[in-house]
Every structure is written in structure tokens, then in C-alpha cells.
């Protein structure tokens, strides 16, 4: 069996990548170990602003917005940020559990008719000059031009490719679970002690007069820090009970768990996101503590950075070297997430010195400029790929401007729905000719009368024209002198087609 690309793992990263490749006309298949599509248990609790923008660029943000709850849910060091007033159409986070996020993504991938080999594991692979033979747990194998490991933190693909995964070992270990309690605890909510942070709370709630009101019965969410670090087996009810007794002196008769999982503060990142014809993305490339809710966001955005590049290489539009820009751009972003989550872990400690440090940082974040910058970082809106010197938009996300075109009003993100590159001429209509790339790039003449505001940076000078990549990042900014345009078009979208 043959596909142009095989993706190991159909979590959020794998599904996003499959969607991107399919939009670009690539024959891609997912191999997913889980036999059923549904994710059991809870991991991510929502989506931050940039991830919502990324979904908006593909025309699927509404599906998530229809099910989630808008909230101001970014923060750092105990300081909450409010994105209201940020120059984005989504100045908020969206509360929506990962099982729902995955269900919605699965619906999209299904519409795009991505084949999924379910209940099957990738067990190994061998790559040669022209492709990869991917071994499956049912004894079959798949031949592909490229294999992408989106197979989570314990990634077999990463290990089998021999990609190093340096970083820090865990210093804390937490159990997180949903279960029933036979007794009602005297206190609900968060407890902090020398061991770490713990929490007990009802799962079910309703919104009354704009406020969350928790149910007084039903399942309970438990978060408890374990006394010992280093357990690698699947957590059990007796592990959970023991951890509760250590912290609360009782397990409140805990029973009937629907799921129990363990997470730690280990932070590791792949030394390379590519080894020949094998690439990795999402948790396979980086693991870190859940602080700030950044894991799923980073994985989805890895996928959107990689998808169009891999598609162009598979289609022979661009040389293989385009794939190196995936590591060059996304590795620093992953490293930054590791850095801020590691800092968050330290800042959670309850000793006097750490409290003093936390208060000091909170004071700094009380100032406008640091607060704006950190809010832009934690929401992913400030991501900047180093594409060289130039206009501040270069290497940053294209804002979703309200344009006026000859066909009427149009949002920029609508022009990105089919994941094709976009050349936007906001100057004299007809001023630019990119016909040698017309088979790949849509040229739109448009007017935009408003200001150009970027998150964290503020107002920037209005450009005459911009070249926008399918991932929504700006690859060239310029004017009618067209300086550097041919080079940018060739770098990102391949050589010109002969007339
Ligand atoms: C307690 C907790 C809270 C979190 N909270 C947040 C949050 O609030 N916000 C946030 O953004 N992130 C959060 N995360 C992180 C988020 O869950 C992950 O970053 C995200 O799931 C990564 O997606 P992924 O697709 O890269 O990997 P995964 O979701 O791990 O998906 C990998 C997939 O690959 C499959 N697989 C594995 N091995 C193989 C194989 N050999 N062959 C075939 N298939 C295979 C697995 O079955 C799985 O479906 C949290 C995580 C935890 C543990």
C-alpha cells in the first residue's frame, strides 16, 4: 500500500497535519493506535487565540466556537491577562476539552476523506533515498515518500529515527482523574503545601447570570501531587487513593474512576525535527508541563507550519531544503514554551523566597508593556519567525483585515481557507505581476483603509503589498520597487514557471 505521506498518530497534531496536506492535494494517511476515535480522559482544556486564528484561516473556527466558552484564560506567574482590545478577531481563549477538540478535528479530517488505519500501531520503519517503508502492528507495511511522527511524547518514530530528546527529568509527578467520592470533602478547590498543588472540584456546572455554578453532586475532578517521582506504569485507583491519603489524610472513599492519568514537569525537546524523510511534530517533538495550556496549541501550529512545506516538496514544487525551515522556525518556538513552562513550575513553589520572586514578577507584569508582551506570548499571537531584517510584519502572522476587493468586502482569512499562498496588493491595482507563479499563488488587488496593529508591537506602517504563506505568516513586505520579491517567491514557492 502506498501513500505520499504517512502520519503516525491521529491526535490533534496528526489530524491537523493530515488536513493541511489534503488541502494541498497530497495523498496522506493516518495510522492511529487507538481503535476508537474518542479520546478518553481530559488533557487540554481549551484553545488560545492564535490556535483559533489558525482554525479561522481554514474556515473551521466556528465549529469550535459553537461548542466552547470564551474566557480570558492566559496568564503567567499567577497573573491573569485580558486580551480584550488585542488586535485579533479572537481576543480570548476558548474553554473546550480536548476530547471535543479532537472530535471536531476528526469531523473535518473525515470530510476531507483522509484515510485512517485505526487500531493499528506504527512499529518501525526503514528509509532509503526515495521513501520510507512503514511497518504496522498487523504485519502489513506502507510505502510513503515521507513519514511524520505525530505519535505523542513517547514517540516511537522519534526514537526509531535516533533523534535525541534532551531535557530535564521530572521533579514532580501529578495524578489527574475523574471519579466519584463516597464522602463530601470539607473543602473544595485548590490546596497548596510543601508537596505541591492539589485540587478537588465537581466536574458538572452550569452558567447562571454569567457565573459558573458547580453542581452539588456527581463526578469529581481530582488533581493531586504524588509524594514520589519516577513511576512509569499506568496509574491505578490505588495510586490515586494513596496520593490523596498522603495529602488530605483520607481518600474520601474515592471510587469508580472514568479515567486516571499522570503528568510530570519533565521538559524535553527533540534535537532535530527532521531526519531525512522522517519528521516529527507536536508532543513527539516537545514535552513540557501543562502550565499555560500550550502543548496542543504548539502541536497544531507545528502541523500548520509543516503541512504546506511538505506538500510542496512532495509535489516537486520546492526542493527538500524547504523542510529545513520547519525545524529552523518551530524549534525556537518549542524552546520558548519549554522555557516559560519550566519557569512556571519553579514559580509555583510555596516557600518564602519563591513567593517573593512571584510577587516581584507579578509587579513587573502589572506594567503595561511587559503585560502586553507576555499576554501576546502566552496566546501565541506574537510568534515571529526570523525571516531577516525588514518591515515588522515580516515573519509575523498576517492580521485578519477587512478588505475591499472588486468583488466586495472580504476578510483576509477567507482567502486562506484552501491553504494557498496569497499575494495581496493594497496599492495601485495591477501594479504587480507575479504571473510566473500564478499556478501556485493567488494575487488579490484590494483596499484597506484601517490601521495596521500587531499584538505586542502596536501600530506599524501600512505596507503596499504582502506575500502571505499558507500558514498565515508574512514572507515578503514591499512596494512597487519589488525589491527582493522574486527571491522571496522562489524561496517559498519554488522557481518561476517558464513563460
Ligand atoms: C494533564 C494535561 C493537561 C493538559 N492541558 C493542556 C492545555 O490546557 N492546553 C494545551 O494546549 N495542551 C494541554 N496539554 C497537552 C496536550 O494534551 C498535548 O500537547 C496534545 O495532546 C499533543 O497532541 P499530539 O497530537 O502531538 O499528541 P497526542 O495527543 O499524544 O497524540 C498522539 C497520538 O498518537 C497515537 N500513537 C502513539 N503511538 C503510536 C504509534 N506507534 N502508532 C500509531 N499511533 C500512535 C496515540 O494513540 C495518540 O492518539 C495537557 C496535557 C496533559 C497531560
* 162-180: pLDDT as tens digits: 999 999 999 989 999 999 9
Q: Is residue 303 a contact partner of residue 20, using CB atoms and an 8 Å limit?
A: yes
Strands (E), 228-320: 255-264, 267-269, 274-275, 278-280, 286-287
Q: Quickly state the pLDDT bin for 207 (edges 50, 70, 90).
A: low
| Cβ of residue 97 lying under 6 Å from some atom of ligand 1 | no
Q: Is residue 11 a contact partner of residue 410, using CB atoms and an 8 Å limit?
A: no
pTM here is: 0.94
Per-residue pLDDT at 45:
86
| Cβ of residue 68 lying under 6 Å from some atom of ligand 1 | no
Per-residue pLDDT at 44:
85
Q: Which atom of ligand 1 is nearest to the CA of 284?
A: 26
- Please write the tens of the pLDDT for every residue from 228-271: 998 878 899 999 999 999 999 999 999 999 989 888 999 999 99
Q: Quickly state the pLDDT bin for 210 (edges 50, 70, 90).
A: low
Rounded to the nearest angstrom, the distance between the alpha carbon of 323 and the centre of ligand 1 is 23
Is pLDDT at 206 greater than 80 in this prediction? no
Q: Which string of b and e fits 208-217 if b means at least 16 CB within 10 Å?
A: eeeeeeeeee
| Cβ of residue 422 lying under 6 Å from some atom of ligand 1 | no
Looking at residue 479, the DSSP 8-state letter turns out to be: -
Please provide the average confidence, as pLDDT, over all residues in the chain. Answer: 94
User: Average pLDDT for residues 397-408, to the nearest whole number?
Assistant: 96
Q: Is residue 42 a contact partner of residue 402, using CB atoms and an 8 Å limit?
A: no
- Please write the tens of the pLDDT for every residue from 292-332: 999 999 999 999 999 999 999 999 999 999 999 999 999 99
- Crossing angle of the two packed helices 295-314 and 324-347, in degrees rounded to 10: 180
Is pLDDT at 39 greater than 80 in this prediction? no
Closest CA to ligand 1's atom 39 = 151
- Please write the tens of the pLDDT for every residue from 106-151: 999 999 999 999 999 999 999 999 999 999 999 999 999 999 999 9
| Cβ of residue 380 lying under 6 Å from some atom of ligand 1 | no
Rounded to the nearest angstrom, the distance between the alpha carbon of 178 and the centre of ligand 1 is 18
| Cβ of residue 420 lying under 6 Å from some atom of ligand 1 | no
* Rounded Cα–Cα distance for residues 90 and 94 (Å): 9
Is pLDDT at 1 greater than 90 in this prediction? no
Three-class DSSP category at 259 = strand
Per-residue pLDDT at 211:
65
Per-residue pLDDT at 247:
95
Amino acid at each position: 500500500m502506498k501513500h505520499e505521506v504517512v502520519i503516525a498518530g491521529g491526535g490533534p497534531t496528526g489530524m491537523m497535519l493530515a488536513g493541511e496536506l489534503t488541502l494541498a492535494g497530497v495523498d496522506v494517511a493516518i495510522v492511529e493506535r487507538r481503535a476508537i476515535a474518542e479520546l478518553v480522559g481530559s488533557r487540554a482544556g481549551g484553545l488560545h487565540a492564535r490556535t483559533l486564528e489558525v482554525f479561522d484561516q481554514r474556515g473551521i473556527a466556528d465549529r469550535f466556537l459553537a461548542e466552547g466558552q470564551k474566557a480570558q484564560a492566559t496568564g503567567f506567574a499567577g497573573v491573569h491577562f485580558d486580551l480584550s482590545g488585542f488586535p485579533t478577531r479572537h481576543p480570548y481563549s476558548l474553554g473546550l476539552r480536548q476530547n471535543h477538540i479532537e472530535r471536531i478535528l476528526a469531523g473535518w479530517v473525515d470530510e476531507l476523506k483522509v484515510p485512517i488505519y485505526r487500531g493499528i500501531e506504527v512499529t518501525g520503519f526503514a528509509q532509503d533515498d526515495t521513501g520510507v517503508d512503514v511497518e504496522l502492528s498487523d504485519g502489513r507495511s506502507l510505502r510513503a515518500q515521507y513519514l511524520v511522527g505525530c505519535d505523542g511524547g513517547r514517540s516511537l518514530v522519534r526514537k526509531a529515527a535516533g533523534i535525541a530528546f534532551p531535557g530535564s527529568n521530572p521533579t514532580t509527578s501529578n495524578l489527574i482523574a475523574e471519579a466519584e467520592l463516597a464522602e463530601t470533602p470539607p473543602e473544595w478547590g485548590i490546596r497548596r503545601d510543601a508537596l505541591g498543588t492539589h485540587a478537588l472540584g465537581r466536574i458538572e456546572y452550569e452558567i447562571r447570570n454569567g457565573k459558573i455554578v458547580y453542581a452539588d453532586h456527581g463526578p469529581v475532578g481530582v488533581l493531586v501531587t504524588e509524594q514520589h517521582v519516577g513511576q512509569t506504569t499506568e496509574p491505578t485507583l490505588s495510586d490515586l487513593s494513596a496520593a490523596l491519603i498522603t495529602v488530605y489524610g483520607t481518600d474520601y472513599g474515592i471510587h469508580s474512576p472514568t479515567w486516571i492519568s499522570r503528568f510530570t514537569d519533565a521538559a524535553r525537546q527533540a534535537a532535530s525535527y527532521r531526519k531525512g524523510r522522517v519528521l516529527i511534530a507536536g508532543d513527539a517533538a516537545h514535552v513540557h508541563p501543562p502550565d499555560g495550556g500550550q502543548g496542543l496549541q504548539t502541536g497544531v501550529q507545528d502541523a500548520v507550519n509543516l503541512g504546506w512545506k511538505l506538500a510542496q516538496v512532495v509535489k516537486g514544487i520546492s526542493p527538500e531544503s524547504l523542510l529545513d525551515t520547519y525545524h529552523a522556525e518551530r524549534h525556537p518556538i518549542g524552546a520558548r514554551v519549554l522555557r516559560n513552562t519550566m519557569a512556571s513550575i519553579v514559580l509555583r513553589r510555596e516557600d518564602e523566597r519563591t513567593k517573593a520572586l512571584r510577587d516581584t514578577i507579578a509587579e513587573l507584569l502589572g506594567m503595561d508593556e511587559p503585560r502586553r508582551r507576555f499576554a501576546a506570548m502566552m496566546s501565541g499571537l506574537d510568534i515571529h519567525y526570523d525571516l531577516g531584517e525588514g518591515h515588522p510584519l515580516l515573519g509575523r502572522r498576517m492580521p485578519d483585515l477587512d478588505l475591499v476587493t472588486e468583488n466586495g468586502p472580504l476578510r483576509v482569512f477567507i482567502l486562506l481557507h484552501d491553504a494557498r499562498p496569497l499575494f495581496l496588493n493594497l496599492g495601485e491595482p495591477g501594479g504587480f505581476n507575479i504571473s510566473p507563479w500564478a499556478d501556485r499563488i493567488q494575487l488579490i488587488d484590494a483596499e484597506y483603509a484601517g490601521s495596521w496593529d500587531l499584538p505586542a508591537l502596536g501600530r506599524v506602517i501600512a505596507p503596499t503589498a504582502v506575500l502571505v504563506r499558507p500558514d498565515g505568516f508574512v514572507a515578503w513586505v514591499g512596494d512597487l520597487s519589488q525589491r527582493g520579491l522574486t527571491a522571496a517567491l522562489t524561496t517559498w514557492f519554488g522557481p518561476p514557471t517558464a513563460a
